Structure 1
Amino acid sequence: MSLNSISPIDGRYEKQTSILSPFFSEKALMQYRVIVEGEYFIALSLLRKTSLRKFSNTEIKKVRSLYRLSSKDFEHIKNIEQKTNHDVKAVEYFLKEKLAKTSLKKSVEWIHFGLTSYDINTVARGMMLGDALEKVIIPKIILLTKNINTISKKYKALPMLSRTHGQSASPTTFGKEMKVFEQRLKKQTDILEFVRISVKFSGATGNFNAHHVAYPKVDWIKFAKSFINSLNKNRKIKLELNLPTTQIDPHDREIEIFDCLRRINTILIDFNQDIWHYISDEWLVQKVIKGEVGSSAMPHKVNPINFENSEGNLGLANALLNFFSNKLPISRLQRDLSDSTVERNFGSALAYSLIAYENLLKGLSKIDVNKHKMAKDLDNHPEVITEAMQTILRREGVAMPYEKLKELTRGKNITMGDIHKFIDTLKVSIEVKKELKKITPANYIGLASKLV
């Protein structure tokens, strides 16, 4: 952990977020750019419809050997950038230098042929985002979902008091309430797993101007589609060429991803807050970890800090994701540069999300269900069975059962004894009275356990 980091992402939470460094660090961006430039260079040689000769297998291996940037390579690219004041041009010059003393020395001017820097950046960032989602973010969300589902199955039949508008309501089970979150997360994750990332690869203003003027007989649209598709090998989250565009891709597909992530994070904020309430009600208890301190002033405290931390970081992530969605679709005319600096923060949004997921997983590992307290609080609210009673009385043709039970219970503290006395006054059969008296808060859970 660096004590001099400005952001907690690379400081306090470095151990949790360093797994994203291969996808969103400055070095990673340079490396992905090198890959795109290199693969394009190779693809042009295999096209056989320009004056660029076909590369040998050895030459292709040589180009691809440059994809793994050493620290020295990275520093060299940054030094070139200091002179050019252009990061993508620095990558182009780096590749030309590396290949200048090889059999490809007469072909190096074909590096970056007909392209604008955005063509390289959009594909590089698409690969970065797709890889980070596939290898880090989605697996973590799936793990969270599985953990919640495990809790759901374990406690599918455990009765629990519901609350609507903060007031006692018809009972449910703890497992079923966990299942609600599991299903919400699963539906959104299914969307996220099959998303395609839109990229642009058509020159300065999206018309293949330079390509076409140099080689008008080449089908550059077909070539671009084929090239982008070639990058999808072994990639679950696919890249997809967007046509037509201006100089930039409009970011609509990225926004679909960010909005989906934002929905997932919002579901988890909801989950964190519910767990927080259950802990506050003592329906959930947190395991005491020896040596840990809950409060610097109150020795007894075991605070739900993991769930609170998760909620806070999810909020930070969503603030960025929401900004991306509002900002990125807007670009002056054919292009302005305001999207570029915003794109550099994709990793921050995913890092805050990852911190939140890790804390939530840690929090879940430290909680147990307090069955006794859950049952006690449920039993203290016998009024929740009046819904069942008035429904049965409707079935039996009793006049105004809802109103009679409202008069008995609304705004009052009643007991099961009070309810049974009321049942005795009803003009219904003995069998119906027995049926009503069998209903308890603990057994009035409907089909909750079957919904899990």
Structure 2
Amino acid sequence: MNTPVPARVSLAEVTPPIALGPLDGRYRGAVASLVDHLSEAALNRERLHVEVEWLITLCNGADGVPGPVVPGAPRLTDDEVAYLRAIPASFGAEEIAELKAIERETVHDVKAVEYFVKRRIAAAPERLGATSLPAASELVHFACTSEDVNNLSYALMVAGAVRDVWLPAASALTEQVAGLAREHKAVPMLSRTHGQPATPTTLGKELAVLAHRLRRQVERVRGAEFLGKINGATGTYGAHVVAVPGVDWPAVSRAFVEGLGLVWNPLTTQIESHDWQAEVYADVARFNRILHNLCTDVWTYISLGFFTQIPVAGATGSSTMPHKVNPIRFENAEANLEMSCALLDTLSATLVTSRLQRDLTDSTTQRNIGPAFGHGLLAIDNVARGLKALAANAELMAKDLDENWEVLGEPVQSAMRAASVAGVPGMDNPYERLKELTRGRRVDAARMREFVAGLGLPDDVAARLAELTPAAYTGLAEQLVDEYLA
């Protein structure tokens, strides 16, 4: 007899709605700050902002552009300007729902924004009493194509996300790595090149390399340009000059775009070319890849025992092996950095190409800017948490160094070369002689010192090498951290 399978609850109909992806579900707490900048609601808020500021410019002018720009447009009072600017500022849950309802009718997102603004203008007399705002209603979206509004909105969104969210998080993490580098600048550690024992360094110096690399990318992103345009359906100001001839429309466009805090792009098709976006995303992706390198290195140091992880009270490392403290923060970060880079690379490659004067591939692509930054921000959060839970095991690193005296073959043969150039006899074939002594075999302290003593080096050189140990053979590592992570 078959037991009937009960019907499952439809998770798609559960309220409140269940997130489809992890960024809006499991990990929302780490990335919620991006919602203010890169969500659909944030896009519509910036669209409202652009529409309102364009209307104000057409009526009142802008820096270096006297108003009204359009003859007959009313000169707006301070109260009227404040009323208009309150439209995007007060854009919340009710307004989001209202705009969605309008869009269901228009089946066009930017047109819905235009109608939303016009509704507010029509309602202005109820709030302001006598007002000239209704007379300016037809200047909403004047001479604009949707892309005039969209390109500026995305530029403002990305600029805000980078400056207010990504840069503070990336900078803080970079300085956290730099702090660890300074803390451990004098802790000697055996290097591993190709996975094999190599010239000693310090733990701090190796972390400093990563901090220095991350800092450089942070500064590149900090200096990014965010471009915008407002020049009509094919970038010719065609509608502008027919409707209102005699106005220096490029000057108006430049003043408006720069007034938004963006860099003016004077020459475009219907779309702003998005090259600046590709540049920003490439730099952020490069930061991600360097951070990924940090994750794999730290993971390896943990596996070697050079770093120990401080257990979190109550946490479980493995469902079956209770002794384990897994480096989950760094593994989680690796995966999220790879997801972020995949999206950023796609954005960079897709956005710089548009068929002739316009196609809509960029519209869908740009809606994934949020997840691209979200996965990266989540990774930064994980790495920061992971680094806080690390402790350096200097004792184990010292033991590792003491078991690998063969790494002193490099300084010994280098000293022999220098002595040979200075005219000391018996210094022939230094590399080959050290290779014969050390390659593929372990050499202890006694054997290395015996070899050095028999070379016939000048007394001062022989004494210097006799005192040298793997732990002391770290060159200028400590000084490099001090000088270049100041």
Give the match for residue 402 of structure 2.
379
Secondary structure of the corresponding residue to residue 291 of structure 1: coil
Give the match for residue 273 of structure 1.
296
CA distance in 2, matches of 1:431, 1:197: 61
CA distance in 2, matches of 1:426, 1:38: 83
Give the match for residue 352 of structure 2.
329
CA distance in 1, matches of 2:93, 2:327: 42
Tell me if 1:244 matches 2:267.
Answer: yes
Moved more, 391-400 or 6-15: 391-400
Q: How far is 1:430 from its partner?
A: 4.2
Amino acid corresponding to residue 444 of structure 1 in structure 2:
Y
Tell me if 1:99 matches 2:121.
Answer: yes
Secondary structure of the corresponding residue to residue 472 of structure 2: coil
Tell me if 1:70 matches 2:99.
Answer: no
Q: Which of 229, 240, 259 is matched with 1:211 structurally?
A: 240
Amino acid corresponding to residue 32 of structure 1 in structure 2:
E
Q: Which of 44, 61, 70 is matched with 2:58 structurally?
A: 44
Q: How far is 1:24 from its partner?
A: 1.5
Alpha carbons 1:3, 1:11 under 8 Å: kept: no
Aligned length: 446
1:332-382 CA distances to partner (integer Å, 9 max, x unpaired)?
110001110110110110100110000000000100000100111111111
Tell me if 1:34 matches 2:34.
Answer: no
1:82-109 CA distances to partner (integer Å, 9 max, x unpaired)?
0111000001001111111333112201
Secondary structure of the corresponding residue to residue 227 of structure 2: strand
Q: How far is 1:130 from its partner?
A: 0.5
CA distance in 2, matches of 1:322, 1:275: 25
Secondary structure of the corresponding residue to residue 6 of structure 1: coil
Q: Percent identity?
A: 40
Give the match for residue 89 of structure 1.
111
Secondary structure of the corresponding residue to residue 19 of structure 1: helix
Secondary structure of the corresponding residue to residue 168 of structure 1: strand
Amino acid corresponding to residue 66 of structure 1 in structure 2:
I
CA distance in 1, matches of 2:464, 2:393: 30
CA distance in 1, matches of 2:49, 2:457: 80
Q: Which of 157, 164, 168 is matched with 1:128 structurally?
A: 157
Q: How far is 1:299 from its partner?
A: 1.1
Matches within 5 A, 1:294-373: 294-373=317-396
Give the match for residue 19 of structure 1.
33
Secondary structure of the corresponding residue to residue 172 of structure 1: strand
CA distance in 1, matches of 2:393, 2:81: 63
Tell me if 1:417 matches 2:440.
Answer: no
CA distance in 1, matches of 2:113, 2:391: 54
Alpha carbons 1:29, 1:124 under 8 Å: kept: yes
1:41-90 CA distances to partner (integer Å, 9 max, x unpaired)?
00000122422121111111111121121312111111110011100000
Alpha carbons 1:173, 1:448 under 8 Å: kept: yes
Q: How far is 1:23 from its partner?
A: 0.8
Q: How far is 1:256 from its partner?
A: 0.6
Tell me if 1:446 matches 2:475.
Answer: yes
CA distance in 2, matches of 1:61, 1:213: 31
Q: 1:3 to 1:385 in 2, by over 3 A?
A: farther
Q: How far is 1:2 from its partner?
A: 7.3
Structure 1 residue runs without a partner (length 5+): 233-238
Alpha carbons 2:189, 2:398 under 8 Å: kept: yes
Give the match for residue 142 of structure 1.
171
1:127-186 CA distances to partner (integer Å, 9 max, x unpaired)?
111011111100001100111111111111111101111111111111111111111111
CA distance in 2, matches of 1:148, 1:170: 23
Structure 2 residue runs without a partner (length 5+): 1-14, 61-66, 126-130, 421-426, 482-486
Q: How does the TM-score come out when normalised to structure 2? A: 0.90
Q: How far is 1:437 from its partner?
A: 1.1
Amino acid corresponding to residue 436 of structure 1 in structure 2:
L
Q: 1:211 to 1:3 in 2, by over 3 A?
A: closer
Amino acid corresponding to residue 71 of structure 1 in structure 2:
A
Q: How far is 1:3 from its partner?
A: 7.8
Moved more, 188-197 or 99-108: 99-108
Alpha carbons 1:279, 1:285 under 8 Å: kept: yes
Q: Which of 61, 64, 85 is matched with 2:82 structurally?
A: 61
Q: 1:3 to 1:308 in 2, by over 3 A?
A: farther
Matches within 5 A, 1:102-113: 102=125, 103=131, 104-113=133-142
Q: How does the TM-score come out when normalised to structure 1? A: 0.97
Secondary structure of the corresponding residue to residue 66 of structure 1: helix
CA distance in 1, matches of 2:54, 2:214: 38
Secondary structure of the corresponding residue to residue 232 of structure 2: coil
Alpha carbons 2:57, 2:69 under 8 Å: kept: no
Q: CA RMSD in A?
A: 1.3
